[in-house]
Amino acid sequence: MVERDFSGLGEHYRRALLEDVMPFWERHSIDDEYAEWLGYLNRRGEVLLDLKGGKWKGCFHVPRALYLCWSRFKELSER
């Protein structure tokens, strides 16, 4: 079995996220007109589908965000 050194992998992904992914997302995905985001883009940043509430957003992201808010408020209220 070959041993591999993955110690620098976290830094690589952090840098890619902050220098490539987030700037791309901020330029192309945010819909300022309707205070939403576009979730279906191609690699050039062109909108593939202008849906605002696909199957994943409604059943996953919104409840997840509500749970996160609830848990943070609960944590803060117990201080």
Q: What is the pTM of this model?
A: 0.56
Per-residue pLDDT tens over the stretch 21-74: 999 989 998 888 888 888 788 999 999 888 776 666 667 777 888 999 999 999
What's the residue count for the chain? 79
d(CA 31, CA 37): 5
pLDDT band at 20 (very low <50, low <70, confident <90, very high): very high
User: Which pLDDT belongs to residue 31?
Assistant: 87
Strand pairing partners for 49?
40
